[in-house]
Amino acid sequence: MLGSLVAISGFVQTCNPDVAAEAEVYEEVTDLKNTMEATDSQGNVYTIGTDQVSEDDQDAYVEKRGPNGKILWSMHHSATPVDERAVMIHIDRYDIPWVVFTVDGGSNEQSFITQKYLRDESVWERSLFRGYGRADGAAKVAVVACLNPQHGKLERATFLMSRTNEGNIDAVDKTNTLVVDSFFVGDTVAVDARSWYLPPGVGANHENFVFHPNATDSTKVGDSWPVRYILSRGLDLMYSADILQ
């Protein structure tokens, strides 16, 4: 079986099951969610949020309580001077929690989301986008992550960001703002996002950021592009990237 295995109540589940049912998922994505609390089929309640640790800095947390209200675990997935927030959560049909974080800036510290509370170092190795990238200032980007329900560590994760091309051949494309509005996890991961700079298109990955070919002034809604991404549950493949009108 593919992916990261999670033992739950005597059987095995996974962030990335060996399934091929994209057609079914396209029917399911009419129900994208944006919630800060979710309950699994066993009555366990997951809550997300942020702790204000300084005037300009927040750290994200995810907490799991049993049906009796007892805290089973509480996890801060990042604790750096970078502003990191947990903004939405979804429990899939396997009772696995998925969380969207936001990150305003990158960090090489061991307490950054790319290094703290991981199942192991392989979590980011196969990610679609492994890191924040480079930016002028602290552009806000998203992190979509699958968590282990037993202890809250990251099992799989990917960044989602836009980039700006400065228009000359020697310039380095810089990371810029992309915000997730809602998401849903079935046999794939559906993400509705808004991108204020050039969003990634199908074929983009951590080694080659491919700009979305349909991201033009005529396809903007207001000052941003609304994009629906369909990703693999392993968060290592982008199946589609449709600009919504």
Residues 173, 153: Cα–Cα separation, whole Å: 31
Higher pLDDT, 133 or 195: 195
Higher pLDDT, 206 or 5: 206
SS3 state of residue 183:
strand
The percent of residues above 90 in pLDDT, for the chain, comes to: 44
Residue 4 to residues 55, 122, 190, 235: CA-CA distances in angstroms? 37, 10, 19, 11
Counting the structural domains of the chain, the total is: 1
pLDDT of residue 113: 54
In a domain, 7, yes or no: no
Torsion of CA 133, 139, 145, 150, to 10 degrees: 110
Q: Which domain holds residue 133?
A: 20-243
In a domain, 219, yes or no: yes
Average pLDDT, integer, range 98-109: 72
In a domain, 15, yes or no: no
Q: Give the burial class of 116: count Cβ atoms within 10 A of its Cβ; 0-12 exposed, 13-18 middle, 19 or more buried.
A: middle
Q: What is the mean pLDDT of the chain?
A: 79
Residue 204's nearest CA partner among 231, 172, 178 is: 231
pLDDT band at 206 (very low <50, low <70, confident <90, very high): confident
In a domain, 32, yes or no: yes
Average pLDDT, integer, range 76-105: 83
In a domain, 12, yes or no: no
The percent of residues above 70 in pLDDT, for the chain, comes to: 70
Higher pLDDT, 152 or 110: 152
Gyration radius from the chain CA atoms: 17
- Summarize pLDDT for 25-78 with one digit per residue, the tens: 444 566 788 889 999 999 999 999 887 666 666 778 899 999 999 999 988 766
In a domain, 229, yes or no: yes
CB 227 within 8 Å of CB 195: yes
In a domain, 146, yes or no: yes
In a domain, 8, yes or no: no
Residues 98, 168: Cα–Cα separation, whole Å: 39
Residues 65, 232: Cα–Cα separation, whole Å: 28
